[in-house]
Structure 1
């Protein structure tokens, strides 16, 4: 089912819940840390829906739906994208890691109980699998791959990283970016090369470039 902007804005909450269940989601999470601009948040909801990601985590000082400007910028997609508010990005990452460890432990125990000699099933089935490319490990992993999108002395071009699923993408504040303590939780830090005078891109644009790069490699 595809809806246009007007239909999404008018979509009733009950029907939206049903629509969410029909989406085959990709095992990608957006962690938004202290994003102040509500239009940016709304735009990120719209992007998240386009990518069919698993969930958005709104952290710290980020505003949450049903803020009027988020509703407007998202054209109603906040109703069809799973989201949750968390006190901090660090709390979110700790919780996601704990859930992954618990899930892996249960899978291991089930495998032992069944005396199975086959490899453990991946924790998610949202993305397609295939041969490994230079940029993306398409086979689902039992561990989270945590990537911070930020300019840093430790960052590398986003096209030079080996991504794996399930994937957490962290995006930070429009002015000061991702907090240093949050960067330390990432497996890798990536940035988008800038060739002009301007130092950085809008957070929605940055998120779209990196996440569509990942999706394009998963889907090919």
Structure 2
């Protein structure tokens, strides 16, 4: 028998994972990011950029009200945000396909690591400036014709792998 939300036996847990969104504004993606952050116990989401994300009905429908539970904040400048996280001891993990990125399943993390997962804008990905600040650049291996995924879906895959590594 399928369990309802109230019947599941999942242990609630928060991980030292902050999600840093670089110029992500799509309501569906913002909602998906909140939902993934809640599902995998991320401590916070930071939306960076000069445009605020759309928190309208589409976002609320996609998030299933998780924006009410997941702490979040806004920052105009991602570089300042990342430098601050680095000073606070976070390892910066950029989720992007580059010449030097490593497959996500080869990620080596310690149980004591604090992680900031950086995800990029829908069309542009993670900028070179941000990639230069990252401690680790990792990608999701894909086996079809396409070389990219929806940002919220990619985040979900990354959160699954990161929580496996640090729990």
Name the TM tier (shorter chain): 0.7 to 0.9
8 A Cα contact 2:27 2:54, kept in partner: no
1:191 aligns with 2:139: yes
**Structure 1, gaps ≥5 residues long:** 5-22, 101-142
Given the two structures, how large is their TM-score scaled by the length of structure 2? 0.85
The structure whose Rg is larger is: 1
Deviations 1:119-154 (A, max 9, x none): xxxxxxxxxxxxxxxxxxxxxxxx321100001112
**Structure 2, gaps ≥5 residues long:** 6-11
More strand by share: 2
8 A Cα contact 1:59 1:88, kept in partner: yes
Worse-superposed segment, 64-73 or 180-189: 64-73
**Secondary structure at the residue paired with 1:31?**
strand
Flag the structure with more relative contact order, 1 or 2, with Cα contacts below 8 A and sequence separation at least 6.
Answer: 2
| Partner Cα separation in structure 2 for residue 27 and residue 150 of structure 1 | 21
CA RMSD after TM alignment: 1.8
The residue that corresponds to 1:113 in the other structure is none
| Partner Cα separation in structure 2 for residue 62 and residue 69 of structure 1 | 17
The residue that corresponds to 2:122 in the other structure is 174
**Secondary structure at the residue paired with 2:144?**
coil
The residue that corresponds to 2:91 in the other structure is 145
| Partner Cα separation in structure 1 for residue 50 and residue 105 of structure 2 | 30
8 A Cα contact 2:26 2:53, kept in partner: no
1:36 aligns with 2:25: yes
1:80 aligns with 2:28: no
